[in-house]
Structure 1
Amino acid sequence: MKEKFEEILIKKEKELAYLKNNVQGFKSNGVLENRINRTKLNYRTKELTEEIKNIKSYLKRIDFVEKVRDYENNSRNS
């Protein structure tokens, strides 16, 4: 389960890097189409950043639960 979330995290980080490069590619020449595209990319970038943050937080919780489970198993075996 943890591996699946790590794979998703990697995909989202790659997509975020790609989008950040594209946002910088649009010049601020005032053309409405460029502004709209830049706004869409900025919104998706913020969305991805939040998703990545949530996945990292979830992975930390999974690690913590595994450590607690290991500790409980070790204390029972002692």
Structure 2
Amino acid sequence: MPPRRPPLSAVGLAMIGSQMAGFTILGVLIDWAAGSVPWATCLGTLFGFVAAFIQLIRSVQSPQNPDGTSSPSDREGGPG
């Protein structure tokens, strides 16, 4: 049986959403300053989506130790 994972927290999901919104707003501001509507907005939204998706993937993967190995509780069979 696979190990149980803790559910994603609301704060973690809000952070993922704010990344996408932040990059979109940055794109809108760049477009407003440069007069290049909608290019920076589209690129900011795309970059924010990719960054949020990468963060989401990292948040659902199993935690690892700093040296890159899985923690002992994540190994198959567990202790004993």
TM-score range, shorter chain: 0.3 to 0.5
TM-score (norm 2): 0.45
Q: Larger helix proportion, structure 1 or 2?
A: 1
Task: Give the greater-gyration-radius structure (CA).
Answer: 1
Higher RCO, 1 or 2 (CA under 8 Å, sep at least 6)?
A: 1
